[in-house]
Every structure is written in C-alpha cells, then in structure tokens.
C-alpha cells in the first residue's frame, strides 16, 4: 500500500507495477508486459512464415498506348471489351481512353471515348463515358471503376443492371 500523495510507476523486464490512485490506500496492480525485443522475437516465426506480396498485388502503371482486353457483364450477357489508353497525365492522372465492345452472340460492336482518373498509389481507375465513336442501335455507353493490379484491371460497371469487368494488359 502506498501512503500519502506518492504515485509510482515502475517497469521491470516482465512486470509493470503501477499505482492506480494517489490516496492513503492506493492499490497496486501488476500486469505482465513483454519488452519490445522479446515481442519481436515472439513474432519472428510468424513474420518469417508470411508469404511476400506478389508482384501482381502492387498497383500497376498506365501509359499512353496501353491496351487492356477482357470482358464485362451487362443485360445483353458477357461482352468482349478492349480499353485503349489515349492519354495519361502525370501524378494522380487524368485519363482519356477508347472503350471498344463486341457482343459475340449478336455480332454487335461499337466504341466510345471515356474520361476519368487514375491514382498510381492505389491503382484506382474511374472512367466515365464521353462521346460515341461508333454507336450500334440499342446500346448505351457505360461507366466503370476498378483497380489496376500488375497487368490486370478489375472492377464493376456503374451502369444499372450491369456487373463486373476484368481486362488484362496486352503485350
């Protein structure tokens, strides 16, 4: 027990002793505390066993002339797509792209311009429709958002009734 107005905190190698109150009958609590070096040693097996991040998990880069080929889902069904990067400004980039699509069961194809942004730190891509290059009857432009990881761009179509898309950087 501590008497008077004395408060103390003593930290040992394995225990911390702390006075919780400054009164005539303050209670002392002992709690196990691991030193920083002991904590590092205890975690070492887990750190060593952890798998390194795959290169494809890192955000990729977008460059003018890049072409991503893949597919997306909308009410007409699975549709082939090619996204061609026309312009990519430095830093948190402004993007300009051409979106081409081909619905194989009906042989319908079309294309339009898109504008948006790319964040190289996170790989986040947002592209909004801009203007038609070639518009097939009965089709509307779509907007998309996703993430670029390595050479793969994955995300979702923002247009109601549509689903996801996946496209891979062509060599």
Q: 102 pLDDT exceeds 80?
A: yes
Total tally of structural domains belonging to the chain? 2
- The sign one gets for the Cα dihedral 50, 54, 57, 59 is positive
Instruction: Answer whether residue 3 is part of any domain.
Output: no
pLDDT grade for 88, boundaries at 50, 70 and 90: confident
Instruction: Answer whether residue 1 is part of any domain.
Output: no
Q: What pLDDT score was predicted for residue 92?
A: 57
Task: Give pTM, 2 decimals.
Answer: 0.65
Same domain (yes/no): 66, 149: yes
Same domain (yes/no): 42, 61: no
**Residue 4 and residue 162: Cα distance in Å, rounded?**
72
Same domain (yes/no): 98, 157: yes
Same domain (yes/no): 89, 163: yes
Same domain (yes/no): 148, 67: yes
69, 82 contact by CB (below 8 A)? yes
Instruction: Answer whether residue 97 is part of any domain.
Output: yes
- From the number of C-beta atoms within 10 Å of its C-beta (0-12, 13-18, 19+), residue 71 rates as middle
Instruction: Answer whether residue 100 is part of any domain.
Output: yes
Same domain (yes/no): 162, 91: yes
**Residue 74 and residue 160: Cα distance in Å, rounded?**
9
Mean of pLDDT over the chain: 75
Same domain (yes/no): 29, 90: no
Same domain (yes/no): 34, 88: no
Same domain (yes/no): 115, 71: yes
Domain that holds residue 41: 9-50
């Amino acid at each position: 027990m501590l008497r008077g107005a004395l408060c103390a905190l003593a930290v040992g190698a394995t225990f911390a002793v702390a006075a919780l109150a400054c009164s005539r009958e303050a209670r002392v609590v002992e709690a196990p505390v691991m030193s920083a070096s002991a904590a590092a040693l205890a975690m070492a097996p887990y750190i060593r066993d952890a798998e390194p991040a795959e290169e494809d998990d890192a955000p990729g880069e977008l460059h003018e002339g890049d072409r991503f080929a893949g597919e997306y889902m909308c009410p007409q069904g699975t549709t082939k797509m090619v996204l061609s990067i026309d312009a990519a400004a430095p830093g948190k980039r402004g993007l300009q792209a051409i979106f081409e699509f081909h619905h194989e069961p009906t042989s319908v194809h079309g294309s339009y311009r898109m504008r948006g942004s790319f964040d190289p730190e996170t790989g986040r891509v947002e592209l909004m429709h801009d203007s038609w290059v070639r518009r097939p009857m009965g089709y509307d432009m779509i907007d998309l958002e996703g993430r670029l990881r390595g050479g793969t761009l994955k995300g979702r179509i923002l247009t109601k009734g549509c689903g996801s898309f996946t496209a891979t950087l062509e060599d």
